């Protein structure tokens, strides 16, 4: 079941990279990446359509479908892996998986409590995905997360590097801020809170586990995955669903 959902979900996500500032309305994925301070850029609808067509020589009904979303769905049902394209990623932050929480104000009285709630929630979900035995699950749930930061992990600007190093040593307590607009139900939230440091997936099984982890986490958790060359593009996940880096219609 997870393999099917994984293939379909990743087929919805194609991305390129660019520089900020940008024009136009950003996709939800790009809004999340911006809130994480992860370099990213939406693909245009035209380029997305071109990549869809390039994914197969025989497009059938998809080729004549003027609606891009309809064409995409048609291709997915026939061969969801044919048009997965891994875009270029700059070195540093965008090459690392970022697991981020924005803890709703209603769930915590202060930043310290919010961080504790986020850590407990993340470890419980991680235990279900990465623990193969009851003992392993218990170990994952009880072991402290080594790094909790307010900035993404990876090589960035000199200012970012200083902040990252400091927070890796001293830890981080999130402050209460206006919630990003993609958290529709929340006025304020503690975050962003980056839990642990993670590289990128080494195979498809790793990618599928990231999707399973996302599915087990609450809606206030978002995961940026840099994808895997020749297998899957970068994507943002929320509640197990992939958000595409494609400009909205």
Q: Is the pLDDT of residue 83 over 50?
A: no
pLDDT of residue 47: 80
Q: In terms of residue numbers, what domain contains 43?
A: 2-78
Q: Residue 122 and residue 196: Cα distance in Å, rounded?
A: 10
Residue 112 shares a structural domain with residue 59: no
Q: Is there a domain that residue 247 lies in? A: no
Both structure tokens of 36? 């994480």
Give mean pLDDT, residues 76-93: 45
Q: Is there a domain that residue 85 lies in? A: no
Q: How confident is the model at residue 20 (pLDDT cuts 50, 70, 90)?
A: low
Q: Is there a domain that residue 22 lies in? A: yes
Mean pLDDT, the chain, rounded, equals 80
pLDDT of residue 69: 47
Give mean pLDDT, residues 149-174: 93
Q: Is the pLDDT of residue 50 over 60?
A: yes
Give mean pLDDT, residues 142-168: 93
Provide the 3-class DSSP secondary structure of residue 11: helix
Residue 121 shares a structural domain with residue 205: yes
- The total number of structural domains that make up the chain: 2
Q: Is there a domain that residue 249 lies in? A: no
Q: Residue 201 and residue 227: Cα distance in Å, rounded?
A: 7
Instruction: Point out the domain boundary residue: 78, 105, 124.
Output: 78
Contact 235, 242 (CB under 8 A): yes
pLDDT of residue 109: 96
Q: Is there a domain that residue 175 lies in? A: yes
Residue 136 shares a structural domain with residue 50: no
pLDDT of residue 72: 41
Q: Provide the 10 A C-beta neighbour count for residue 219.
A: 14
Give mean pLDDT, residues 204-232: 92
pLDDT of residue 16: 37
Q: How confident is the model at residue 17 (pLDDT cuts 50, 70, 90)?
A: very low
pLDDT of residue 54: 66
Q: Is the pLDDT of residue 65 over 70?
A: no
Residue 8 shares a structural domain with residue 106: no
SS3 labels along 38-58: CCCECECHHHHHHHHHHCCCC
pLDDT of residue 86: 37
Q: Provide the 10 A C-beta neighbour count for residue 171.
A: 13
pLDDT of residue 227: 87
Task: Give kind and range of the element (H or E) at residue 137.
Answer: helix 134-142
Q: Residue 233 and residue 88: Cα distance in Å, rounded?
A: 9
Q: Is there a domain that residue 245 lies in? A: no
Residue 135 shares a structural domain with residue 198: yes
Q: Provide the 10 A C-beta neighbour count for residue 147.
A: 16
Residue 113 shares a structural domain with residue 61: no
Between the ranges 17-21, 24-28, 50-54, where is the mean pLDDT highest? 24-28
Q: Is there a domain that residue 136 lies in? A: yes
Residue 127 shares a structural domain with residue 6: no
Side-chain half-sphere exposure of 70, counting CA atoms within 13 A: 8
Give mean pLDDT, residues 86-111: 84
Residue 224 shares a structural domain with residue 109: yes
Q: Is there a domain that residue 235 lies in? A: no
Q: Is the pLDDT of residue 55 over 70?
A: no
Residues 165-201 pLDDT 10s: 999 999 999 999 999 999 987 799 999 999 999 988 8
Residue 113 shares a structural domain with residue 167: yes
């Amino acid at each position: 079941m997870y393999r099917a959902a994984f293939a379909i979900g990743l087929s919805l996500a194609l991305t390129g990279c660019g520089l900020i500032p940008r024009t136009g309305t950003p996709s939800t994925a790009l809004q999340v990446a911006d809130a994480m301070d992860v370099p990213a850029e939406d693909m245009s609808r035209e380029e997305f359509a071109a990549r869809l067509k390039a994914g197969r020589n025989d497009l059938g009904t998809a080729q004549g479908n003027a609606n891009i979303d309809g064409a995409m769905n048609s291709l997915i049902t026939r061969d969801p892996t044919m048009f997965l394209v891994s875009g270029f990623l700059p070195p540093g932050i965008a090459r690392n998986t970022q697991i981020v929480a924005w803890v709703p104000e209603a769930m915590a009285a202060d930043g310290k409590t919010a961080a504790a709630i986020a850590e407990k929630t993340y470890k419980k979900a991680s235990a279900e995905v990465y623990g193969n035995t009851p003992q392993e699950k218990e170990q994952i749930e009880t072991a402290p997360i080594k790094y909790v930061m307010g900035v993404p992990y990876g090589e960035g600007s000199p200012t970012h590097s200083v902040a990252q190093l400091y927070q890796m040593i001293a830890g981080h307590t999130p402050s209460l801020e206006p919630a990003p607009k993609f958290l529709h139900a929340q006025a304020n939230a503690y975050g962003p809170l980056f839990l642990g440091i993670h590289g990128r997936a080494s195979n498809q099984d790793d990618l599928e586990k990231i999707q399973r982890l996302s599915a087990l986490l609450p809606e206030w958790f978002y995961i940026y995955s840099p994808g895997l060359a020749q297998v899957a593009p970068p994507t943002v996940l929320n509640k197990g669903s992939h958000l595409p880096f494609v400009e909205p219609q």
